[in-house]
Amino acid sequence: MPSPQRALSIPGFPEGRRSLTAYAYHFGPGVAYQPAHRFIAADIDLQEGVWLDIGCGPGWLAIFAGSGKPELDVIGIDTSKTMISLAEDNKQGRLNVTFREMDAREVVYPAATFDVVTAVQTAHHWEDPAAIFTEAHRVLKPGGKMYVYEADPDATIPSDWIRRRGVWPPDSVLKRRWQKFGMDQARWDALKAVAGTSAFGANIEDDRHGFYRRLVLTKA
Ligand SMILES: C[S@@+](CC[C@H](N)C(=O)[O-])C[C@H]1O[C@@H](n2cnc3c(N)ncnc32)[C@H](O)[C@@H]1O
């Protein structure tokens, strides 16, 4: 039996309905969140080394993180083939930004490869967050940091964090999306509890950045 995600078969859309979802994200939230991704890249501000972005989607955080930084390599991974091909188009040939189809539960890079791992608006999809924290910890260098961001449906939205065409998307639409594709306090607390039992141990800060809840996990 094909899964419901695969039931829709469209020539040129390798992942069926999942491809459509990826295109819808690319042209909608993928555009609207670009300023937020610029703020995240500027805030982390890694100038050299290696940065892994998990669940990279159309790739904008990785692209902004790597722009103008020849000493920095940024790798974006995503389980969606379609997202990875959109990210490849978006990067417009930047040599220090690489996108690969890969599951964050099984990262193919050796231990202690990365200075930074980011995960923006992807944790609400994770079926096994413990496995992802374990992998992130393994591939981070000692002293490296993992940043996890999820939109808070109750946040005040800083207007310069969203790219709007006219009034679209209004705050009401964003907040409705974030109820589904973000985390309320209970879901966030559950994610944080999983992180707390991972190899990161007690090295976890829970704060906010813009309209996101943020965890900063440090590898000792
Ligand atoms: C809502 S999109 C967010 C994309 C991007 N981070 C952003 O902020 O625009 C979530 C992405 O996470 C990806 N994803 C979910 N689980 C994943 C996993 N285990 N490993 C890698 N990617 C994953 C999905 O395929 C999807 O593209």
Closest residue (by CA) to atom 11 of ligand 1? 55
Q: Is the CB of 78 inside a 6 Å radius of any atom of ligand 1?
A: yes
Domains, the chain, with CATH or none: 4-218 (3.40.50.150)
Q: Is the CB of 79 inside a 6 Å radius of any atom of ligand 1?
A: yes
3-class SS at 7? coil
Which residues face 216 on adjacent strands?
147, 205
Angle at 137 between CA 133 and CA 141, to 5 degrees: 155
29-84 pLDDT, tens per residue? 999 999 999 999 999 999 999 999 999 999 999 999 999 999 999 999 999 999 99
The pLDDT-based confidence of 12 (bands split at 50, 70, 90) is confident
Taking the centre of ligand 1 as the mean of its atom positions, its distance from the CA of residue 124, in whole angstroms, is 9
105-144 pLDDT, tens per residue? 999 999 999 999 999 999 999 999 999 999 999 999 999 9
Q: How many CB atoms lie within 10 A of CB 65?
A: 25
pLDDT for the residue 2 = 38
